[in-house]
Amino acid sequence: MSESVRRALEKALAERQQADLLRRLPGQLEGVDFCSNDYLGLARDERLRRRVADLASRGPAPHGATGSRLISGNHPQLEALEDRLAEFYGAEAALVFSSGFAANLGLLASLGGLVSALLCDRLLHASAIDGCRLSGARRIIFAHNDMRQLEGGLDRLKPGEAAAVVVESLYSMEGDFAPLEQIMALADARGAGVVVDEAHANGLMGPLGRGAVAAAGLEDKVLARVVTFGKALGLFGGAVLCSAALRDYLVNFARPFVFSTGPSPLWALWVRAAYDLLPELEDLRERLWANVAYFRNRAAQSRGNWLPSESWIQCLLAPGAAEVRRVGKALQEQGLAALPIRAPTVPAGQERIRVCLHACNTFQEIDLLLAAADEACRA
């Protein structure tokens, strides 16, 4: 390593350390899970393991794709998964990616060849922000869930200008929902498309867990949906749901798809098995919603500064890097896996403990969490 690079590396890390923002990989988390995105507990579900074993027994699948899907990696298992996804979501087509990040990045960066403007909610995930930046399209950023600002941004479009609105159905650091019907109405009135990232709603909302877009009956109106398999499905990877024409376009222009080794055909079996199981999990979805209702009722009596979320993502504000770490440590000492979120994931001054509720959490565990948070906030 050159001396100049070494100095720059040390300087960058020292600055993060001085700001109390240096990140390190944690060890295996212990205690009651209030931090993972495994909302339905499928990451350890024996039913899923049995279904995978059953699918695998019908014919062996290779461990690896062996190349990009445009060369040697387009295995029939991947196409079977995409057909299953399109059928499940009522979409014309689906295209799988190795991660939800790659799906967002590939889709949104590629849209620069189709639209000249992207209207973006300020709190989009980093993958969507990066994709929009790489698109080359003009970005019009509106305040989070602010329909007046979105309308104003749409009014700024030039006559006949092609544009798309980019939102999440459920925001991962706020826990609030996008007003999809209003967004769609505003965009539709001005001829703009709508792209919805369903990462944290997939598997949990709508008929059979088809997501917030399906819950709102907007499947035929949106330009594209991004679903991920690393949250409620307990796996990893993602997919874009869209028209057949847009899928063909992505196959040609989405760089994370074109230039990446294809996903494992064995992985495709796992994801198909999860989707076969998903319609049977209404009891888990109901238990999750019951936990959300119980949490909100109890949090109303709490001393903590909890954001007014109605979802399975709840946030306790604890401004300041040192303060949020102190509160997080206090919770962990009570056997609760609830972790601090610091800048740059959230803006400085808006640090928080992000709590993810799960179908498997008990009311007693929720009571313990809220009592420990109250105690930590009083300290």
Last residue of a domain, one of 215, 246, 279: 279
**CA separation for the pair 183, 146 (Å, rounded):** 10
| Long-range own/partner contacts, residues 344-350 (CB < 8 A, 24 or more apart) | 344/21, 345/173, 346/173, 348/321, 349/319, 349/320, 350/317, 350/319
Asked which of 279, 304, 325 is the last residue of a domain, the reply is 279
d(CA 144, CA 82): 32
Q: What is the domain extent for residue 298?
A: 27-42+281-378
Domain stop point among 247, 279, 311: 279
| H or E element in which residue 316 lies | strand 313-317
Residue 352 has what pLDDT?
96
* 237 within 8 A of 96, measured Cβ to Cβ: yes
Residues 38, 66 within the same domain: no
Predicted confidence (pLDDT) per residue in 113-139, tens digit: 999 999 999 999 999 999 999 999 999
Residues 367 and 331 in one domain: yes
pLDDT at position 24, please?
A: 86
Say yes or no: 107 and 241 in one domain.
yes
pLDDT at 246 over 90: yes
Point out the residues that are catalytic.
37, 125, 168, 172, 197, 200, 231
In a domain, 12, yes or no: no
CA distance 37 to 228: 11
Q: How far apart are CA 263 and CA 62, in angstroms?
A: 11
49 found inside a domain? no
Confidence of residue 30 (pLDDT cuts 50, 70, 90): confident
Task: Using alpha carbons, list the distances in angstroms from residue 162 to 48, 114, 165, 277.
Answer: 43, 7, 11, 39
**Which CATH number does the domain housing residue 355 bear?**
3.90.1150.10
Which tokens go with 1?
A: 């390593």
H helices of 139-193, in order, are: 147-155, 180-189
User: The CATH number of the domain where 121 resides is what?
Assistant: 3.40.640.10
Residues 262 and 299 in one domain: no
If asked whether residues 288 and 264 sit together in one domain, one would say: no
pLDDT of residue 73: 92
Please compute the mean of the pLDDT values over residues 336-352 and round it to a whole number: 92
Is there a domain that residue 10 lies in?
Answer: no
List all residues 6 or more positions away from 159 whose beta carbon is below 8 Å from its beta carbon.
none
Residue 378 pLDDT exceeds 80: no
- C-alpha span between 232 and 203 (Å, rounded): 6
Tokens 């700001």 belong to 19
Q: Are residues 348 and 285 part of one domain?
A: yes
Residue 379 pLDDT grade (very low, low, confident, very high; cuts 50, 70, 90): low
172, 256: one domain: yes
The reported pTM is 0.94
24 vs 3: CA distance, rounded Å: 24
- 349 and 230 inside one domain: no
Concatenated DSSP letters for 195-206? EEE-TTTTTTSS
- Residues near 6 by Cβ (< 8 Å), separated by ≥ 6? none
Number of domains in the chain: 2
34: confidence class by pLDDT, cuts 50, 70, 90 = very high
The answer to the question of residue 131 being in a domain is yes
Do residue 242 and residue 308 come from a single domain?
Answer: no
Q: Are 111 and 206 contained in the same domain? A: yes
